[in-house]
Chain A
């Protein structure tokens, strides 16, 4: 039997991969961008945001959890898949309270950057306007649940890297929300410290460092000049 080369097809391009890589990691390493939010190179695949949904041999699934296999035919950058991604972004926008002009994360926010890159022109759906809390009890960090997108990166970082379990996802359905593990439920009474991975992993503006607001001016932020697709690939190439 001839051995199949470790290559799959992504929108017509040949993508080489190492066994064990997912479609997403292999594509990024090969310089092809697939939009994603909850996937993070430092953590195992999570597969909850579904932004990276691709069609593999005719079946849909998230590129971040599907292992690359020789000869796969993967579609990603198609009008219909990008339409699904736009709707998923719209869902994330209407589910929380995202007011970009007043957000410190604006310009460096993955949600906002993806919305620009995928040309999401409006939230489209009726806003949920949930009543979510702000927790400013911690000396170094502000917790603004209005902006949380339930990617659980803080949960994963605190549990798997910091070994602290500061955050957990609770509730279900549209009542899903992040809770803080402390006697009072407030961040100030938790063990979160400034060096924790969990404190710096939030892709949106839900966990914000205090006292450094607007140190980087609007216009000079991560995604202000290049779209997230290019910024991410440049990061990947480093």
Chain B
């Protein structure tokens, strides 16, 4: 390996030795060195003049940064419930056996490690894994065997079969956005022709609301940012699509990225911003190169850069920043912290980013899909746009459909479509439940399939996970509970501790050791997390679990012991170490189940 300094210098120089780029620097350094060793850490800290503890606070916060060796091949299996339903656990076990590995441990030869990671956004083509941030989809036992062979032969990733890394779009129903004839530049030119104020007026007329889930009116956000005092303004595209079951932004970034970038430019025109960031989740790193290429093309065509489309004073450009495995960074203030090179911990709100965002400057943070929709408003005008959908939820919405259905993928509908219609279209034969809005959303039963996708009925950022009626909803509850316990940023007490308490309690119930006591505690915690958590992560962490416990009560009750209370401490489990030392595992070495 080349010396540390000679490899680091170009990375550090590429970011202008700017400490706000620390997360990007660490990501790039890890690409070279496979992990952030104490020597690499010291070299970066020394050159940038930052405390080493600041680097530790990042490597220990972001799941995909490592301060211990994890091998040349770092395999992470996506651990969404849809991956599990497609057999991911058995596939991982198969790989661990083939490689003679323990999960989460580095192989003896230091070559490979295998672990789980949160949903990687490949739910329509899972089970999926990441190898050094590159997605491998449609896993089968055979493909696992092939991967094991490639790893044993120390084959560089670039020489692996290209079809391993194929990510398909799976657009099943296209409407206004996915189906439109689109010519690059038309939307920006239309916005320039309208002028900044008139474009904002059209946005107001369109009543376009944020597609990230919260549904805030986009025009209000833009106007607030424009009118806030500040030397500079920023446009951030939130492409940290981490909600389990959601993958629409992946497709938009893969096949519709010009529209995303044009949407950002239009937001810049309206607000007066000169710089923009696309915050891309680390799991989508494979999109970075094509997105950079697209940006370069757009600069050549004067759709970015100075005097965009010839308009005096319309100067705007976009940089891509990558995340590194932290769901919480989808929260806009956590995302901004991450962009500033810090752990992604949500800020106190208010003030909101529109007035105090990136580096304290007025900042618009919009979802990928929202920005695409802004190009529609530029093209067809606000009034035409508002003609689609419902009065309170105008336009169309892209849904990411996965789970037990024949045709998982993207479905674009005008707002107001019923769940039943979506289920019919995707070929869900025997749906017993639908999780709407990802792990942080609601779980609906067949009685509620008449509900409509709209901000005023069933709002969602777009994830629909279908559960066949044969599915054990406790497995889904466990998966979600563990997800939140893993992804809590740790800032506030209720979420940091509460999500772990909840995960442990659901595990206990799933293991048949839960009692009425746990179900009552879970109800109490639901209320406390919702009311006292710092951000949406903690506030919504128990939404699905609450729904499942209420609506699938028999499934939960079947698992409960008949006792009022079962101790959390398992004496028999605590004796495992003693049994191991004594080399015994016979019946007499175990405490009876009823002691």
Contacts and interface: CB of A to CB of B under 8 A. Distances in A.
B496 A173 contact: yes
Nearest to B63: A172
Contact of B486 (A65, A91, A173): A173
Interface in A60-87: 60, 65, 84, 87
A87 B528 contact: yes
B524 interface: yes
B497 interface: yes
B531 A171 contact: no
B371 interface: no
Interface in B457-511: 485-494, 496-501, 504
Contacts of A173: 485-490, 496, 499-500
A229 to B, nearest CB: 20
A91 B494 contact: yes
Interface stretch (B53-61, B181-189, B201-209, B587-595): B53-61
Contacts of B54: 165, 168, 181
Given A170-B61, A171-B61, A172-B326, A49 B56 contact: no
Contacts of B60: 170-172, 175, 179
A147 B53 CA distance: 21
Nearest to A61: B532
B212 interface: no
Contact of B496 (A51, A167, A174): A174
A50 B532 contact: yes
Contacts of B490: 150, 169, 171-176
B348 A169 contact: no
A88 interface: yes
A8 B497 CA distance: 33
Interface residues of B, number: 40
Given A126-B504, A173-B487, A92 B497 contact: yes
Interface in A154-187: 165, 167-176, 179-181, 183
B524 A87 contact: yes
Most chain-B CB neighbours within 10 Å: which of A169, A171, A173?
Answer: A173
Contact of A168 (B51, B326, B504, B534): B51
B7 interface: no
Contacts of A169: 57, 343, 490
A183 B52 contact: yes
Given A48-B534, A87-B528, A181-B51, A170 B497 contact: no
A48 B493 contact: yes
B136 to A, nearest CB: 26
Contacts of B486: 173
B63 to A, nearest CB: 8
Contacts of B326: 172
A165 B53 contact: yes
Most chain-A CB neighbours within 10 Å: which of B486, B492, B499, B533?
Answer: B492
B110 interface: no
A128 interface: yes
Contacts of A47: 348, 492, 534
Given A60-B531, A88-B493, A170 B348 contact: no
Interface residues of A, number: 35
Chain B contact residues, majority secondary structure: helix
A88 B53 contact: no
Nearest to A44: B348
Nearest to B349: A65
Nearest to A167: B53
Interface string B122-155: 0000000000000000000000000000000000
B532 A53 contact: yes
B53 A172 contact: no
B492 A48 contact: yes
Interface in B496-540: 496-501, 504, 521, 524-525, 528, 531-534
Nearest to A172: B490
A154 to B, nearest CB: 12
Nearest to A51: B493
Interface string B568-586: 1100000000000000000
Given A60-B532, A84-B532, A88-B528, A172 B343 contact: yes
Contacts of A180: 53
A101 B528 CA distance: 29
A216 B528 CA distance: 38
A88 B531 CA distance: 12
B41 to A, nearest CB: 10
Interface string A173-204: 11110011101000000000000000000000
B492 A170 contact: no
Nearest to B58: A170
Contact of B492 (A49, A126, A183): A49
Contact of A174 (B343, B485, B534): B485
B493 A50 contact: yes
Contacts of B53: 165, 167-168, 170, 179-181
B531 A126 contact: no
Given A126-B569, A168-B51, A49 B493 contact: yes
A125 interface: yes
B531 A179 contact: no
Nearest to B498: A91
Contacts of A49: 492-493
Interface string A100-123: 000000000000000000000000
A65 B348 contact: yes
A31 interface: no
A51 B568 CA distance: 26
A209 B255 CA distance: 61
A228 to B, nearest CB: 17
A24 to B, nearest CB: 13
Contacts of B491: 48
Contacts of B56: 168, 170, 179
Contacts of B492: 47-50
A29 interface: no
A92 B493 contact: yes
Contacts of A172: 60-61, 326, 328, 343, 487-490
Contacts of B499: 173
Nearest to A93: B497
Interface of B: 42, 51-54, 56-57, 60-61, 326, 328, 343, 348, 485-494, 496-501, 504, 521, 524-525, 528, 531-534, 568-569
Nearest first, the 10 closest Cβ-Cβ pairs linking A and B are: A176-B490, A181-B53, A126-B568, A91-B497, A168-B53, A170-B60, A173-B488, A170-B57, A172-B490, A174-B500
Given A165-B53, A170-B61, A173-B499, 11 more contacts: A50-B533, A51-B493, A88-B528, A91-B494, A92-B493, A125-B501, A150-B490, A168-B54, A172-B489, A179-B60, A181-B54
